[in-house]
Amino acid sequence: MSLRGLMALAAALTLAAPAWANYNINAKLVCYDDGGSGKLLKLKGTNKDIIAMCLGVPVTDPTVANYALTFDSDFRELHVISRCDDSVIVCDLSTQLGCKTATTDDDHGFSNNAGCVYQILDAGKTDVQGLLTCVEKEKYSLSTNKYTFSTSCIGSLDAGGTPCTLSFKSNRLFEESDSCP
């Protein structure tokens, strides 16, 4: 890496740090259960189901709406946070096991592309075991002072004895709500 590239990267890291934060995700959870009927049932879930599992409440509980499922681009974690204060982390749902990153940098900024593997952690009182494979992209432009991040993940897990698949993609930057309940 050239001296100019190192300077650009240092400036980018300093200037872009506030953008490294929580990103909203859209999760799809598909689980399979026999339902006691002898027929294999396909159960579909979304962010609300994962949040409810974390909180240990039914998905219909009104408190579920007070939380969000996000991916943290700084610590590289999937977690459930409070909608009114993103520093209140209710559940950490993953931890990074390994990552391979390709980086390009020049006078204009930097770009990282990574392939990562995450261990899925317990969700509240539900014992969860599994892995996620993610493709992550981040880019910083010095000319526009703009940082962008995205991730796309898919994995298999066992949630309390039920086999499931989990997939999600990040979208816009998470924004706290104006007031806490």
Full-model pTM? 0.82
Three-state DSSP at 47 gives helix
* Residues 87-132 pLDDT 10s: 888 999 999 999 999 999 888 899 999 999 999 999 988 899 999 9
Q: Which tops the pLDDT comparison, 9 or 41?
A: 41
Check whether 20 has a pLDDT greater than 60.
yes
Show the tokens assigned to 155. Answer: 């994995």
Spans of all domains in the chain: 3-170
Residue carrying structure tokens 């997939």: 167
Distances 33 to 30, 42, 140, 151 between C-alpha atoms, Å:
10, 7, 44, 29
Q: What is residue 2's predicted lDDT score, i.e. its pLDDT? A: 46
Q: Which tops the pLDDT comparison, 56 or 14?
A: 56
Instruction: Specify the DSSP element, H or E, that contains 120.
Output: strand 109-120
